[in-house]
Structure 1
Amino acid sequence: MNNIRVTKIFNFETAHALFGYEGKCKNIHGHSYKLCVTILGQPIDEKNHPELGMVLDFGDLKKIVNRTIVDRLDHAILLNENTEHKVLGLHLSKQGHKVIFTDYQPTCENMLIDFAQKLQKELPENISLVKLKLYETENSYGEWIASDNIQ
């Protein structure tokens, strides 16, 4: 078997606030996120195929990740809709701000779970999502690894 992992890196700016948290992150603040998406598959071996030798064209992976995550979250604020932040978010939306309501506390960890679920649905059947790494700051990140989540 000739399975190969390929990774593409994405950058986006997103704000969030953690409702009920006792530290600084209870306040609205933003991050320059860096998302590393790693997939696994076998390179195409059909001699006349335009993507011969590729697991998945990097451009196709870019389109999937941008459509599913980056374009949606870039320059938005994430707020937990199950908290009092919903009122704040509705007010900000009425003022023209890009607000994304989540059904979870918008931590790096929960964002990774959300991203993994969304991306797995969008990838071609012959491609597996094996790893996501989300940098919240230059030296702080979380990872979602498929093998850690096998039931």
Structure 2
Amino acid sequence: MSKIRITKQFSFETGHALYGYDGKCKNVHGHSYKLSVTVIGTPISNTDNVKFGMVIDFGDLKKIVKNEIVDVFDHATVFNKNTPHVELAKELEDRGHNVLLVDYQPTSEMMVIDFANKIKTQLPSHIALHSLKLQETDTSFAEWYASDNNSL
């Protein structure tokens, strides 16, 4: 049977700052991110399966991405925990803000790698993550492809 790609799109608001960067993005700022998640698999052929004809139920994919990414990053401010920004993060946390400390520079490029790793571990064994597209503005995005990373 044919392999089919299924894509679901998500939106979330996240702030970040890029420590050591030489432009405006060194300042705390935010984006209205759009994340497109594409998986690949074969439609279920067992007629007794309630998901007959589906590669994956869109609702199941939504649960995975919401749990791993959207619910974690939405309305959070992300800082690299290996920089002096950790002091700012602590101050914000003490004042009740939602802060995430990550072990990478929180660029779109690094975030999309993190997201791919998180999503891959949650997918059913018969489904593979094909690609991710993380859009931070209408004209700027980072893409991750399994084929570029020997992951398919």
TM over 0.5: yes
* Offset of residue 150 of structure 1: 1.2
TM-score by length of 2: 0.98
Q: Hey, what does 1:104 align to over in structure 2?
A: 104
- Per the alignment, in what secondary structure is the counterpart of residue 135 of structure 1? strand
Task: Please give the alpha-carbon distance, in whole angstroms, between the structure 1 residues aligned to 2:13 and 2:87.
Answer: 23
**Secondary structure at 1:129's aligned position in 2?**
strand
List structure 1 segments (4+ residues) > 2 angstroms apart after TM superposition.
none
The residue aligned with 1:3 is 3
Residues 80-104 of structure 1: CA deviation (Å, up to 9, x unaligned): 0000000000110010000000100
Q: Please list the CA deviations of residues 43-91 of structure 1 after superposition, one character each: whole Å capped at 9, or x if unmatched.
A: 0111121111000000000000000000000000000000000000011
Percent of residue pairs identical? 57
Aligned ranges 1:74-89 → 2 under 5 Å: 74-89=74-89
- In 2, Cα distance between equivalents of 1:138 and 1:36: 14
Distance 1:86 1:145 in 2: 31
Query: What do the CA deviations read for 1:18-52 (whole angstroms, capped 9, x no partner)?
Result: 00001000000000000000000010111121111
- Other structure's SS at 2:115 match: helix
Counterpart residue identity of residue 35, structure 2: L
State the match for 2:32 in structure 1: 32
Aligned residue pair count: 151
Q: Give the distance between the partners of 2:136 and 2:47, measured in 1 at CA.
A: 42
The alignment yields a C-alpha RMSD, in angstroms, of 0.8
Q: Which residues of structure 1 form unaligned runs of 5+?
A: none
**3-state SS of 2:49 partner:** coil
Match of 1:125 in 2: 125
Structure-2 separation of matches of 1:104 and 1:48: 45
The one-letter amino acid paired with 1:53 is G
CA distance in 2, matches of 1:48, 1:82: 51
Which secondary structure does the structure 1 equivalent of 2:60 belong to? helix
Measure, in 2, the Cα distance between the counterparts of 1:39 and 1:83: 34
Structure 1 length normalisation: TM-score? 0.98
The 5 A counterparts of 1:132-143 are 132-143=132-143
